[in-house]
Amino acid sequence: MEYTSAKERVFAMLDADGDGVISASEYLARARNVIRATGRADDDPLVIAARASGERAWAAMDADGDGGVTFEEYDAWAGAEAFDGVCRATLAALFDLADGDGDGRLTRSEFLLLRTALGNPEANARAAFDELDADGDGLVGRDEYLASIRAHVAEEGSAMGKALYG
């Protein structure tokens, strides 16, 4: 399958082994990868929050509880409503893990660490950062980051999303 829509591209990234089904292990690996990349301890409150949020997102995505999500299931679920109801909190928790000083903004290196841990190629992550850092201050705020992802998954158009999933 050639992935052309925003949802298809996100699905392809989440389906790490390319078998056409997102498993719980694949989905929950996202938090594990960011935790490992940031070097945070298991008892860190941000780690606990990220894991719990990821579990909630997985439960919502795997609505039939069969342990796997096909593209058809993902396509029916993903979008603005799912983002607002579940995904925003999960992506915010992952953002917070990468935000080393807790100021609500990521430096280029923090952004690259986050997005490469989530499975994006470094070149795509660099381009996405440049799209988000419109004022050139070398920082990306949490709200603008989340709004850009929402626009992408809702297929409303997002320069950052296009750069990440190109």
* pLDDT tens-place string over residues 121-144: 899 899 999 989 988 999 999 999
Exposure on the CB side of residue 146, measured as CA atoms within 13 A: 19
Q: Which range has the top average pLDDT, 3-7, 44-48, 116-120, 141-145? A: 44-48
8 A C-beta contact, residue 113 and residue 125: no
pLDDT tens for residues 115-127?
999 988 899 899 9
Query: Mean of the pLDDT values across residues 71-92?
Result: 90
Exposure on the CB side of residue 39, measured as CA atoms within 13 A: 2
The overall average pLDDT reported for the chain is: 89
Domains recognised in the chain with CATH numbers: 6-161 (1.10.238.10)
List the structure tokens of 126: 């660099």
Shortest CA distance to 84 belongs to which of 60, 52, 112?
60
pTM over 0.75: yes
8 A C-beta contact, residue 28 and residue 55: yes
